[in-house]
A and B are shown apart, each in its own frame.
Chain A
Amino acid sequence: DQQVKQNSPSLSVQEGRISILNCDYTNSMFDYFLWYKKYPAEGPTFLISISSIKDKNEDGRFTVFLNKSAKHLSLHIVPSQPGDSAVYFCAASANSNSGYALNFGKGTSLLVTP
């Protein structure tokens, strides 16, 4: 049962434009959300996170927005750069017997073209 969903398997954006990656979740117990970036043959790299008590968190070119009522979050990258081309995973966690175990979406492959 996929509790975190990324419905767009791929996205192509021109360099300099905004990239918007979307993520939906079903479990209302999730209270922390993270975005990871993954290059081929590497492990996921932590990008940015947001607690459920906030609706926005910004770090440089990356901003994450959380809409709890819609159980939706998005990652905005602006301006997009060719080096941003990677697979982006959305993840969510809730404190449980497994600690802060992460539930991942299937990822969105972002291609930033020059």
Chain B
Amino acid sequence: SAVISQKPSRDICQRGTSLTIQCQVDSQVTMMFWYRQQPGQSLTLIATANQGSEATYESGFVIDKFPISRPNLTFSTLTVSNMSPEDSSIYLCSVEGQRDYNEQFFGPGTRLTVL
């Protein structure tokens, strides 16, 4: 499976600021996914990012709040904009499996706390 890293691993931010989370994969992948896990909740898909096209956002998530970049086949960023305490979550990127596209492999996550 691919090795996935995320930066930062955690951060504490002030209300109204923005944070960009980076996701790096050690191999080329077509699809990357961004998820959020709020405290006590399940993982929820924010958007799907294909290289060379705009991200596809799930219901309840919008580009202005969570802009995503996908400049190449090994890298993506998610920005959490104009943060509020409700954005405090773990943010995870994942990639499709290379052996089986149905499988996904996750990065270690970014723990965000908004004060």
Using a CB–CB distance below 8 Å, which chain A residues touch chain B? Answer: 2, 4, 32, 34, 36, 41-46, 49, 51, 89, 91, 93, 97-107
In the A-B complex, the 9 residue pairs with the smallest Cβ-Cβ separation, listed nearest first, are A43-B106, A104-B42, A104-B43, A32-B102, A106-B42, A98-B48, A43-B108, A44-B106, A101-B45
Complex CA distance for A89 and B43, rounded to whole angstroms: 9
B103 adjacent to A98 (CB under 8 Å): no
CB neighbours (8 Å) of B94 from chain A are 43, 102
Residues A101 and B41 in contact in the complex (CB < 8 Å), given A46-B104, A49-B103 = no
A106 adjacent to B31 (CB under 8 Å): no
Kindly state the interface size class of chain B when it binds its partner: 20 to 34
Closest B residue by C-beta to A106: B42
Q: Provide the main secondary structure of the chain A interface.
A: strand
Complex CA distance for A42 and B104, rounded to whole angstroms: 15
CB neighbours (8 Å) of A36 from chain B are 106
CB neighbours (8 Å) of A49 from chain B are 100, 102-103
Interchain nearest-CB distance for B93 vs A (Å): 9
CB neighbours (8 Å) of B96 from chain A are 99-100
Cross-interface CB contact of B43 among A32, A100, A102, cutoff 8 Å: A102
Cross-interface CB contact of B108 among A2, A42, A51, cutoff 8 Å: A42
CB neighbours (8 Å) of A106 from chain B are 40-42
A102 adjacent to B45 (CB under 8 Å): yes
CB neighbours (8 Å) of B101 from chain A are 99-100
State whether the Cβ of B92 lies closer than 8 Å to any Cβ in chain A. yes
Q: B77-110 toward A: CB 8 Å interface, digit per residue (1/0)?
A: 0000000000000001010110011111111110
Complex CA distance for A46 and B103, rounded to whole angstroms: 8
Cross-interface CB contact of A101 among B58, B92, B100, B107, cutoff 8 Å: B58
Closest B residue by C-beta to A44: B106
Complex CA distance for A65 and B111, rounded to whole angstroms: 33
